[in-house]
Structure 1
Amino acid sequence: MSDKPISSITIVGGGSSGWMTAMYLQKLYNQSGGDVKITLIESQDIGTIGVGEATVHTIRFFFAAMGLDEAELLRETNATLKSGIMFRNWMKPKVGNTHEYFHPFEQQRPLGPIDNASTWVHSPEAELSYADATSISAELIKHQRCPKAPNSPPYQGVVPYGYHLDATLMGRYLRKKACEAGVIHVESIVTDVNTDGESITSVTTPKGEFSSDIFIDCTGFKGLLIEKLRSDNWQSFEKELPCNKAVAIQRKYPQDMPPKSYTVATALSNGWVWEIDLSNRQGTGYVYDGNRLTKEQAEAELRAHLGDELEILRTVHLDMRIGCRKAFWVGNCIAIGLSGGFIEPLESTGLHIVNVGARLLATHLSSANPPQAVRDSYNRTLNGVYEDLRQFIILHYCLTDRDDTEFWREAAKTAKYAKGLQDRIDIWKHKTCEYMDLAGSFNTIFTDENYRFVLYGMDHVPAITLPTTREALTATLARLKAQQQQALDASMSHEAFLAKLAK
């Protein structure tokens, strides 16, 4: 252990994770006159995965903190706005209609004597879905509106929102901004990682050897640096989340299809398909169980789902490693992004975890060689974050009543893999899901409100009786409807927002 100040940090690997981390560390250590040398080594021969093109809403706060101009960011990455996710076909059809529900980002305060969820459960207008009855975002997307008003300041809107963006362009944009801020960019490939016990002394490249106090591993699934220090350091989530492969297709829009301001996640035979609209094209992909489908079968099923009316620009197959490190920080090396772990992209949490991993360094990386207790704290926190996200993703699967394939029959049993989840689900049959049910976890983004949208969207509605009147319920629902209409009147169409952005 040493209290020696940090003088240098080397990041290996670019893409969104590497350049987000580089920007954050440059601002953290050097914006107030510090002198920490931040170097990022990446090879143009090793492309980024570049298909995870949706975010959660909190990524706005990272971009704002980095001082990025939102309009420029959106233009440079062909981005659109994201109000939430529309889930389709995750349960059996009802009266011949495909099951669907909407999960927005917003958090709604109660507008009556009892909470909005209990109001909806008791509602005399039970034909309205939970999102339709309580969510502003759900109302906006029905009318092709977006979360922005004409006068919304940067990073603010009528409701919280995330982005759909081109991940490859995102990496390039962040690289430009990071280098402008003072990050040193070395374009080369790492040929060797030199170690002394569980510490990295240097990395070797054709352009020379690079020593550093701290090394950040952003090399993707291969974890080039962290694997060299500790190989037996992985915990798999593939029993409970078996979708370990994906086939992604980029395609053109037809002339009459404006980009949607929400993601679509449609369940197929052995996984699900994402549909993400950028300003210039649509990104789609089938996340599936590679133990049940071959690459050829998965691509055929995806193409059949999409139809053949749109021109395909690119098709790529991906292998994914589902799980996370036992220790993200070993010696003087910290794994961030895919090097640290990956939860399937159902709720678009990839950049969120990068954000969390990088920002935790502000409180943990206080010297060139912090004590092991600090590393343990960092590892414990990130493990908790992954566990929290793992549970929330499992929730989407375990509530299904689909039994048409073995994949879905097994998915219905996965609650057992998240400690206490089945007990909570059983309790939520008789009470609303509330904050205290999840308190004490490592929750970083998904709260009881998010759980309710999934639970009630998947027809897991509690049987409760509360002392209230029909008049009180109707009045609360009317206030919710008025709130939706007010937001609708204030908002722009998504098409108009994108047109304004392009000027």
Structure 2
Amino acid sequence: MVTPVRNIVIVGGGTAGWLTAGIIAARHKGRADFTVTLVESPNVPIIGVGEGTWPTLRTTLSRMGVSETDFIRECDASFKQGARFARWTTGAHDDGYYHPLMLPQNFGQVNLAPHWLADEGDESFCDSVCAQGRICDDGLAPKTIATAEYDALANYAYHLDAGKFAPFLQRHCCEKLGVRHVPADVEAVSMRENGDIRAIRTTQAGEIEGDLFVDCTGFKALLIEGAMQVPFKDCNDVLFCDTALAMQVPYERPDSAIASHTISTAQSAGWIWDIGIQTRRGIGHVYSSNHISDEAAERELRAYIGPAADGLNARRIKIRSGHRETFWKGNCVAVGLAAGFLEPLEASAIVLVELSAKIIAEQMPPCREVMDIVAARFNATTQYRWGRIIDFLKLHYVLTQRTDSDFWRDNVRDDSIPDRLRDLLTLWRYQSPGFLDEFDRVEEVFPAASYQYVLYGMGFKTQVDASGLSRDKHLASRARRENAAMTAKLCAGLPRHRDLIEKIMAHGLQPV
């Protein structure tokens, strides 16, 4: 007898739970026989420090039917156009580069990296191929008030207040998408003979049965670890940072400029994030407790912030870098912190929720009989994505020239570098990453362009055979001229970031 999959039970709220609920419910809206139930403890606070996103969130929110104006107004959101990494290469005060969200000019037609390398000019790689670094330097927004919701003149993501984002998603999911919300604490998990979860038993709402259970219970991992006993795979031998100290810092003035990029500033044993949203900055120190004490790390954080940190408390969060050995087992799939966590260097937490929920929603098994096939595909894709994110985060560390502390010296040890990344670094000494090189998966988490921005932002050298560039010389010259013209046009026409936010608050963006 075929067992249909109709009742989806998401255990745990927060950003992961409600985003997953919204993505699944929006995809299956209109199915009379299909239900999405979210069970959320009224007594467990959310982590609430995931403030950075990827451009994918624009598509996700749009497909969920969310108004971008409402989202910006209610979640204290601002625009994010990439990240600036300061003091990662040499540690000098003028050491910095951008990883923007725009691709290099004409990226699908010509690889500009070898042409830039051959020039040996004074212009940074980012400025030579992309307008976004200059846009960020000038404090500009990625669009104007006349640009429609979710449309962009320069590619963008968001910075947001995580404490406001989850309740905003909850209201939308319940009011617009028909998600059933059950505030209740899980007491026990009831299993079937075949190893599936049959139901969860709650204190306030009794027993809740389901066909597919999504574990969004955060670090507790009540279902995937507690019930399904899936082990956790550490990667702290690659990524050393295991603690974060977070602060919320008010602006000096109501009209203070809002940075439209994340600022990541390297420290003696880690780095500090600086994220500007509408009413405050979220600032935190991510560090290795094996290389610096909590007290010294907090002193570095307070020194970075300055007098504005006086009287503010730092919230300490432990980081266990790694992920589940299996993400989907039986009829249980882990999403969000239950699946794993990595330091927030490239804001990968929320996008992993989006990508996982999208696969679940689009490849929803029609019956239990095919669920294991879907699960195997999900696991293969998700394992690949986690591995590539670990590689990319490590790339920022292995390219450093800093030798001023054990932390930086340890990060370039050969035994801490993943095999795939080590092989790629060897390859890239002789050929620059290109858009058809090693990055051919659907929805690759980091395209070749991202590797180029970090490699050449941090002074990596690729040998270039100048004689081999003649074939694309005309295309490259034209692309760089087009980039220079686009940079001038955007820098002249885009509004200041805070000015656009204030106009959105007052008038709203043009609805799609």
Matched, 1:176 2:171: yes
Correspondence 1:263-274 to 2 at 5 A: 263-274=262-273
Match status 1:334 vs 2:370: no
SS of 1:152's equivalent in the other structure is: coil
CA distance in 1 between counterparts of 2:376 and 2:288 reads: 33
Which stretch has the larger CA shift, 46-55 or 355-364?
Answer: 355-364
Distance 1:114 1:27 in 2: 38
Is the contact made by 1:415 and 1:422 (CA closer than 8 Å) also made in structure 2? no
Say if 2:184 and 2:203, in contact at 8 Å, map to a contact too.
yes
Distance in 1 (alpha carbons) for counterparts of 2:421 and 2:350: 25
Q: In 2, Cα distance between the equivalents of 1:72 and 1:414?
A: 48
Task: Specify the alignment match of 1:201 in structure 2.
Answer: 198
Aligned partners of 2:107 and 2:321: how far apart in 1?
A: 41
CA distance in 1, matches of 2:499, 2:343: 33
Task: Judge conservation of contact 1:364–1:378 (CA < 8 Å) in 2.
Answer: no
Give the 3 Å change call, closer, same or farther, for CA 312–41 of structure 1 in structure 2. farther
% identical equivalent positions: 31
Q: How does 1:52-91 map to 2 (within 5 A)?
A: 52-91=50-89
Shift of 1:461: 2.8
> Is the 2:39–2:183 Cα contact (8 Å) retained in structure 1?
yes
- Residue 244 of structure 1: aligned partner: 242
Going from structure 1 to structure 2, the CA distance change for 1:205 and 1:387 (only over 3 Å counts) comes to: same
Match of 1:448 in 2: 448
- The answer (yes or no) to whether the contact 1:261–1:494 under 8 Å persists in 2 is yes
TM superposition shift of 1:144: 1.4
Q: Which residue number corresponds to residue 458 of structure 1? A: 458
Structure 1 residue runs without a partner (length 5+): none
CA distance in 1, matches of 2:15, 2:414: 31
Q: 2:492 aligns with which of 477, 489, 494?
A: 489
SS in 2 for 1:383: helix
Query: What is the deviation of 1:26?
Result: 1.4
Q: Is the 8 A contact 1:13 1:219 kept in 2?
A: yes
Distance 1:158 1:349 in 2: 24
- Identify the residue that residue 42 of structure 2 maps to in structure 1: 44
What SS does the aligned partner of 2:290 have?
coil
**2:239 is aligned with what amino acid?**
L
Show CA shifts across 1:232-265 (max 9, x none): 5211111101111101011111126311100000
Q: SS in structure 2 opposite 1:324?
A: strand
Q: Which amino acid aligns with 1:109?
A: Q
Q: Measure the CA separation in 1 of the matches of 2:325 and 2:256.
A: 45
CA distance in 2, matches of 1:238, 1:112: 36
Unpaired segments ≥5 residues, structure 2: 507-512
TM normalised by structure 2 equals: 0.92
Cα pair 2:104 2:130 within 8 Å, conserved: yes
Superposition RMSD on alpha carbons, in Å?
2.2
8 Å CA contact retained: 2:365, 2:374: no
Residue in 2 that maps onto 1:301 = 300
Deviation at 1:443, TM superposition (A): 5.6
Q: Distance in 2 between matches of 1:498 and 1:312?
A: 29
Which residue of 109, 116, 120 maps to 1:120?
116
Going from structure 1 to structure 2, the CA distance change for 1:13 and 1:129 (only over 3 Å counts) comes to same
User: Is 1:501 aligned with 2:504?
Assistant: yes
Question: CA separation in 1, counterparts of 2:190 and 2:167?
Answer: 29
Distance 2:184 2:481 in 1: 61
Q: Which amino acid aligns with 1:98?
A: D
Report whether the alignment pairs 1:411 with 2:426. Answer: no
Amino acid at match of 1:492: P
SS at match of 1:55: coil
The structural deviation recorded for 1:130 is 0.7
- The answer to whether the Cα contact below 8 Å between 1:398 and 1:415 also exists between their aligned partners in 2 is no
> What's the CA shift string for 1:422-466, capped at 9, x where partnerless?
222122222221123323557623111110000001100323132
Equivalent residue, structure 2, for 1:5? 4
Q: Kindly tell me: are residues 332 and 479 of structure 1, through their superposed partners in 2, closer, same or farther at Cα, counting changes over 3 Å?
A: closer
Q: Distance in 1 between matches of 2:365 and 2:444?
A: 23
- Which AA in structure 2 matches 1:288? Y
1:52 partner SS: coil
1:122: how far off?
2.4
Aligned mates of 2:500, 2:464 — CA distance in 1: 42
Is residue 99 of structure 2 the alignment partner of residue 103 of structure 1?
A: yes
Please give the alpha-carbon distance, in whole angstroms, between the structure 1 residues aligned to 2:295 and 2:107: 51
The alpha-carbon deviation at position 475 of structure 1 amounts to 6.2
How many residues get paired? 497
Match of 1:164 in 2: 159
By how many angstroms is 1:321 displaced?
1.8
Kindly tell me: are residues 496 and 477 of structure 1, through their superposed partners in 2, closer, same or farther at Cα, counting changes over 3 Å? same
- Larger deviation: 452-461 or 202-211? 202-211
Partner SS state of residue 34, structure 1:
coil
Q: 1 CA distance for matches of 2:419 and 2:441? A: 12
The equivalent residue for 2:90 is 92
Match of 1:433, SS state, is coil
CA distance in 2, matches of 1:137, 1:112: 18
Q: Does the 8 Å CA contact 2:50/2:350 hold for their aligned counterparts?
A: no
Q: Which amino acid aligns with 1:170?
A: F
Amino acid at match of 2:276: D
Give the Cα–Cα distance (whole angstroms) in 1 for the partners of residues 111 and 357 of structure 2.
Answer: 36
- 2:509 corresponds to which residue? none
Quote how far apart the aligned CAs of 1:196 are. Answer: 3.1
